[in-house]
Amino acid sequence: MTDVPAESDTLIAKPMRGHTPRRGIGRRERAAWGFVAPALIAIAVFFVIPVVSALLLSLTDFDIYALADLGNLRFVGLQNYERLFGNPLFWTAMRNTVWFAVLGVPLAIAASLAAAVLLNARTVRWRPIWRVVFFAPYVTTLVATAVLWNYLLNTRYGVINWALTSIGLPAVDWLGDPSTSIPAILMFVVWKIFGYNMLIFLAVLQTVPDDLYEAARIDGAGPWKQFRHVTLPAISPTLLLVSIISVASFFQLFAEPYVMTQGGPAQSTVTVLYFMYEEGFKWWNLGSASAVAFILFLCIFAVTLIQLWVSRRLGGDHT
Amino acid sequence: MAGAGAMLAGCGGRAFAGSTLRFWAMGNEGANVPQLMAAFEAANPGIRVEVQPLPWTAAHQKLLTAYAGDSLPDVAQVGNTWVSELTAIGALSPTPAFAADLLTDQFPAVLETNQIAGRAMATPWYVDTRLVFHRTDLLAQAGFDAPPTTWDDWKRSMQAIKRRNPDAFAILMPVNEFEQLLTFGLQTGEPLLRDQDTRGNFSSPAFQTALAFYKSLFDEGLAPVSSSTQISNVWTEFSRGFFTYYISGPWTVNDMKTRLPAEVQPHWATAGVPGPTGPGGSAPGGSSLAVFNSSPHQDAAWALVRYLSQPSVQARFNAITGSLPARESAWTAARVTDDPYLQPFQAQLSRAVAVPKVPEWERIVTEMQIVAERMVRGEFNVPQAAAEIDRRADRLLEKRRWMIEQGRAA
């Protein structure tokens, strides 16, 4: 946006520069404020105020005693943060969350992109049906699907272990073994959410002009080269968007481990959000829970900045 | 409250006209208590009881959230370790004078758990405590005809069992469960907290003896260093003789009866927990009935508590759920005393020792066990572990100390 604006831009940009008479600005500005006010109010009420109050709450020792009588509330400065950093379970939760994100984001994106590319292929018939089939997990109730996956992953009766043993592999105690609980939940999460990103990818893929593929084919590009040099550049802005959304959602993983493992076995599926929930609503240490929330906010924010920076470095001019 | 009472009394005769009681109950009890309600409603016309069953895993948070949201029920079943917490936030109605008789015919330690600063805040409903489940055949093979009653004899029997079968273990104490170490600690008779329950007392010589006993069972290979999630099936392992002793509560009796194979059935029994010098105590568990002071139907609520506390009703409830009644006279009525597996619970309950009654207690024992697990894995020796538990307990109790200094808590 730093380069010289095109002609159509100047028309809009001109009145904003502030050289026009005052009364005009006033009216136009009022109108502009009027238009953005609903959005600003929503942002203030649902984002700025909660974030600021969480920050303030994280500097107090709001607990069960304060719940009974606000006079028992004390300002404790950064003590909540200091204690969190000294709490091994917090670091376990951090490590688990990073594992979920590092493994889950690429897996989810790969699965949804693969599904979108397959569905976009011209040879696929009954496309709407496939779209519904792939999208259905996303709109079904999480608890219902979690119960279903608990059966699929069951050590003795589960169909996954049945498949493993029938090809001669040993059965896996998916949700009972600390080393397999994260992969087991990841399988479920990826299956549950890939349909949503698939729809986004599908929409973008349909905007890629066919002439580009034709030209590539004439130049002798195979399917992989077409994907690498035509599809990927065309969808890279969407890829960035999807990866930012995915990172944020994987950092906020909660319901799946809550329903399937309750953080176990041996706290191997306690995520940061799960830890925060326990701090806040199991032990009622809302001060400390707010500190966790704030740290999580900073983490997601930092990862998003890194993603933007990487995408800029990779030469994407789409920002 | 007084106003509501006067209003109710003003209705004359039966004072309960048209009250609907909301009653929250958990797990097995929550599922079965509605069966008892028809008789109560028949005896108290005008009161209707709405039972809301809750899962145990969500109950504690639901109660606190309901308190925060001002939507507590009239009566609820509460775990008796929650009483101090619910008292600290001022949610409970203490037992009124007219209901004082409900506190008779009870196990003293259970009653003590429900009393905060000398006032009964909840009424025990059913009780449990821990016993030693053991394999009589393996014990006999090791040369012991009767289960031991002192720590020394107990350990000697474990060593004998280990000698006979070095690949197996003598006792299962999952390192992520605090109950075993807590039991040993309570048995020493030394309080676990000191200074008005504002500081840990885990460095006391008595608790260190308990810690050392606990640690030695792992060090000598008598107990496996594993958490409960690593033992995939306790019943299979118990029937295979992987361990001979297992410390657990009354719920395990039914599991043992239904899950152990027929050939092992004649060879298991329950016995009291051995103590340092003779039969030892263990922590009293179970549930109590609490009336919340936010309830506008105090009289009706206490009528329900009174009904559920009747020995005959408790005996009937025992027949339905298997939960052990809180009233001692209900034990004979329910013929619990005739059951050889359940009978030892009565003696164990009479020896039970109440745990400290501070809202932070559950977190303190959780931290205690985290340190104990590290000690067992070789990270600490006994005095270091004791000091570390104290350090963590003191940190958790810091707010309580401040409250007491400010005169904000008792």
Per-residue model confidence as pLDDT tens digits over A177-218: 778 889 999 999 999 999 999 999 999 998 988 899 899 999
Average the pLDDT over B172-184 and give the result.
91
Domain B131-282+357-404: what homologous superfamily?
Periplasmic binding protein-like II (3.40.190.10)
Per DSSP (E only), the strands in A175-310 are none
Do residues B319 and B251 lie in contact, with contact meaning Cβ atoms separated by under 8 Å? no
**Nearest residue of A to residue B404 by CA position?**
A72
More confident: B54 or A312: B54
Place of tokens 């009964």: B120
**ipTM exceeding 0.85, yes/no:** no
**Nearest residue of B to residue A64 by CA position?**
B89
Please tell me if residue B407 touches chain A, with a CB cutoff of 8 Å: no
CA distance A282 to chain B (A): 6
Question: What pLDDT does residue A288 have?
Answer: 93
Give residue B11's pLDDT band: very low, low, confident or very high (50, 70, 90).
very low
Strand-strand pairing, B245-248 and B171-172: parallel
**Separation CA B267–CA B31 (nearest Å):** 33
Residues of A in contact with B227 (CB under 8 A): 265-266
Residue-averaged pLDDT of chain A: 85
Question: What pLDDT does residue B232 have?
Answer: 63
CATH 3.40.190.10 fits B2-128+284-338, yes or no: yes
**Nearest residue of B to residue A68 by CA position?**
B89
Question: What pLDDT does residue B1 have?
Answer: 36
DSSP A278: I
Do residues B238 and B135 lie in contact, with contact meaning Cβ atoms separated by under 8 Å? yes
Fold match between domain B2-128+284-338 and domain B131-282+357-404: yes
Question: What pLDDT does residue A248 have?
Answer: 87
Asked if pLDDT for residue A12 goes beyond 90, the answer is no
Residues of B in contact with A266 (CB under 8 A): 176, 227, 229
Tell me the domain boundaries of chain B: 2-128+284-338, 131-282+357-404
Domains and CATH numbers, chain A: 20-72 (no CATH), 80-313 (1.10.3720.10)
Average the pLDDT over B361-386 and give the result.
91
Query: pTM score, two decimals?
Result: 0.77
Task: Give residues 247 to 276 of A whose Cβ lies within 8 Å of B.
Answer: 262, 264-266
Asked if pLDDT for residue B206 goes beyond 90, the answer is yes
Asked if pLDDT for residue A65 goes beyond 60, the answer is yes
Write the burial class of residue B61 (CB in 10 Å: 0-12 exposed, 13-18 middle, 19+ buried): middle
Asked if pLDDT for residue A74 goes beyond 50, the answer is yes
- pLDDT tens digit sequence for B273-305: 999 998 998 999 899 999 999 999 999 999 999
Question: What pLDDT does residue B410 have?
Answer: 63
Please tell me if residue A68 touches chain B, with a CB cutoff of 8 Å: yes
- pLDDT tens digit sequence for B336-359: 778 888 889 988 998 999 899 898
The CA-to-CA distance between both ends of chain B, in Å, stands at 23
Q: List the helix and strand counts (H, then E) for chain A.
A: 16, 0
Sequence-separated (6 or more) residues with CB below 8 Å from residue B80: B110, B113, B114, B122, B124, B284, B285, B286, B287, B288
Give residue B229's pLDDT band: very low, low, confident or very high (50, 70, 90).
low
Q: Token pair for residue B253? A: 């009796």
- pLDDT tens digit sequence for B115-168: 998 899 999 999 989 999 999 999 999 999 889 999 999 999 999 999 999 989
CA distance B312 to chain A (A): 36
